[in-house]
Amino acid sequence: MNTQLQDARSRQSAPGAQAVGRPRATIYRMVMEHHICPYGLKALHLLRSRGYEVEDVWLRTREETDAFKAKHGVATTPQTFIEGERIGGHDDLRRHLGLKVRDPKALTYTPIIALFSITALMALAASQAVAGTPFTVRAAEWFIGFSMALLAFLKLRDIESFSSMFLNYDLLAKRWVPYATIYPFAEALAGILMISGALSWISIPVALFIGTIGAVSVFKAVYIDKRELKCACVGGDSNVPLGFISLTENLMMIAMAVWMLLAPAAMVMGQR
């Protein structure tokens, strides 16, 4: 394995392998037998995609890595040098290249937008497979059911973390703490039953109950109390702000439950 790494390194640094006249950069990154630094790979890709002639120096052992850190007075690798000037690690390189650096603590709607986009496409695909067209009433029903099931899954990944965040704003959970643990199971049950179209006498009241309490809780916390909180809708480790999107999750459940209540009656009326 070490021989393969050395051969690959030789090929990358061989004279003539790089074009002439491009800006030069050197990157020092960990490439060990059982570990290749992912940030080193990202930094190397950034440099090459920006047209740099890169000398890719591999730190192949822990001893080499520690010696490099001590020599340059740095705490981490990779480290990038451009035209002899040390730029720093992966995030420092992104800043140097004028690229955005993600703040892990910044609030974002990305997780919930991604989830709703995927569940919408899943619903359209299922409708296409079953009905031969993606645009059906059943697709809208599946969208809500899929969304509820996946939201429940994200909560159940770490139910303790979810329940702690949920207790910050849910009115029922504040009065009866076990509800914070029960909630994601109830959401999953209602969502799965709605997807199947079975046992509506269970899914409808469950969705109405948790959706109504959730909507009232979010509305009170955000629009009445003016509190700035994180939403537990996609799990307790998320940075999704509590607000309109969180309210939408609960309103979707209510809307689906009401639709399931009214749809049979509407069909009967239409047949008369």
Which amino acid is residue 87, in one-letter code? Answer: I
CA-wise closest residue to 172 among 115, 128, 214, 111: 214
69-93 pLDDT, tens digit each: 999 999 999 999 999 899 999 999 9
End-to-end CA distance of the chain: 77
Give 227-231 contacts, CB < 8 A, sequence gap 24+. Answer: 227/169, 229/168, 229/169, 230/107, 230/165, 231/165
Could you give phi then psi for residue 88, rounded to 5 degrees? Answer: 125, -155
CATH 3.40.30.10: does it fit domain 2-96? Answer: yes
Residue 66: name the closest of 80, 79, 77, 81 by CA. Answer: 77
Domains of the chain by residue range: 2-96, 110-271
- For 16-56, what is each residue's pLDDT tens digit? 344 456 889 999 999 998 999 999 999 999 999 999 999 99
Q: Which residue stretches of the chain are H helix?
A: 2-13, 38-49, 62-72, 90-96, 110-131, 137-156, 159-166, 171-175, 179-196, 200-219, 244-271
* Residue tagged 């910050």 (tokens): 168
Q: What is the pTM of this model?
A: 0.76
What pLDDT does 163 receive?
A: 93
Query: Tell me, what's the pLDDT at 6?
Result: 47
| 3-state SS record for 115-169 | HHHHHHHHHHHHHHHHHCCCCCHHHHHHHHHHHHHHHHHHHHCCHHHHHHHHCCC
Instruction: Show the CA angle centred on residue 180, arms to residues 229 and 159, nearest 5°.
Output: 85
Query: Mean pLDDT in the chain?
Result: 86
Model confidence at 268: pLDDT above 50: no
Q: Which helix (H) or strand (E) holds 178?
A: none
Q: Please give the backbone phi and psi of residue 228, each rounded to the nearest 5 degrees, phi first.
A: -105, 100
Tell me the pLDDT tens digit for each residue of 202-254: 999 999 999 999 999 999 998 999 888 888 888 877 788 887 777 888 888 89
